[in-house]
Amino acid sequence: MPRIDAHVHILPPEYVAALEQRALLPFALPPWSAELTYDLMERHAIDAAVMSLSPPGVYFGDQGLADELARLVNERTAELVRAAPDRFAGLAVLPLPDVDRALSELTYALDVLGLDGIALMSNVGGIYPGDLAWDRLFEELETRSAYVFLHPAAPPGPPPIPGHPVWLYEFPFDTTRAAVNLIYSGTLERCPHLRLQLAHLGGAAPFLAHRIASLPAREPARGEPAPAGALTYLGRLYYDTGLANNELALDATLAIADPEQVVFGTDWPYADLPADGDPAPGLAGLEDGLRERIDAANAAALVPRLAAAVGVA
């Protein structure tokens, strides 16, 4: 059975070294190499993978450094894809929050390097997707009907409970903040052709979907930019199972989105995977047709060339 992992990270050694030299690492990054990636795929029968940069991203308050790191990561990603185009797709990182520089890098990454889409963090320096300042970027993404992967980052400000690691619940909460901002800013209404994938089955968004959708009933003016209603916008997004490969989380997602909107992901090298075999044993109880769609077929809407390469387009 084919398997496409729509949520695998790339951590080029030069990127990690640049952060270490500047003491910018907010947490330890796991080991990464192309060889380790191939080993993961071999051990878990993963035919193809979509590569993107993980947090902490490229922006640390210095726009020049963000430009430099984004170009470095995008070129390394493109090298990996060129070396094995039937096995990898690549998503570009953009040097936000400067929209002009982000648009320039978007053009280079997609039109010159030939990457397959872009990966956005849930916030950059406290600015969230859906912010008015980023409208020109989303206009361009809509024009391109772009594949956009939204991955969480640490929220701005110190954690409310410092003893709890930020990935424990703040990451999925930040995905939810970004998704809600995209809805009620009107961005998703203006950009109906975006192919937007939320990491980790959407964070807390599926569980909170009806609460999120209640905003217009309580404050009608705030709901005006999203006339179709939050449930409609949430239902047209894509959701990956990275670090959420269990039926409890999947049931909540399938209550708001069609099965075709769910794609398999691991979030490697951050995932705690079995030693080998099925990388998502928590989904082993799904009926075969649904599991097959999630494992590979649904990815055809996001990376059609990769799906064709593994025989599911």
Tens of pLDDT along 216-254? 999 999 999 999 999 999 999 999 999 999 999 999 999
pLDDT-derived band at 148 (thresholds 50, 70, 90) equals very high
Structure confidence at residue 83 as a pLDDT band (50, 70, 90): very high
Q: Residue 313: what pLDDT? A: 72
The alpha carbons of the chain give a radius of gyration, in whole angstroms, of 18
Q: What is the mean pLDDT of residues 59-75?
A: 98
State mean pLDDT over 275-287.
94
Q: CA-based angle 43:195:225, to the nearest 5?
A: 140
pLDDT of residue 271: 92
pTM here is 0.97
pLDDT class of 298 with cuts at 50, 70, 90: very high
Q: Which residues contact 162 (CB under 8 A, 6 or more apart)?
A: none
- Name the DSSP class of 198: E
> Residue 60's pLDDT band (boundaries 50, 70, 90)?
very high
- Per-residue confidence at 159, pLDDT binned at 50, 70, 90? confident
| CATH 2.102.10.10, domain 4-309, yes or no | no
Give the confidence band of 288 by pLDDT, cuts at 50, 70, 90: confident
On the question of pLDDT at 2 being above 80, the answer is yes
Q: Which of 73-77, 81-85, 119-123, 271-275 has the lowest mean pLDDT?
A: 271-275
3-state helix, strand, coil in the chain (%, to 5): 45, 15, 40
Residue closest to 33 by CA, chosen among 56, 14, 47: 14
164-222 tens-digit pLDDT: 999 999 999 999 999 999 999 999 999 999 999 999 999 999 999 999 999 999 999 99
pLDDT at 16: 97
pLDDT, tens digit, 9 for 90 and up, residues 97-107: 999 999 999 99
Domain boundaries, the chain: 4-309
Residue 243 region by backbone torsions, left for phi larger than 0, else alpha for psi between -120 and 50, else beta: left
pLDDT computed for residue 1 by the predictor: 82
Query: CA-to-CA distance for 123 and 129, rounded, in angstroms?
Result: 7
Q: What percent of the chain has pLDDT over 70?
A: 100
Q: Mean per-residue pLDDT for 90-101?
A: 98
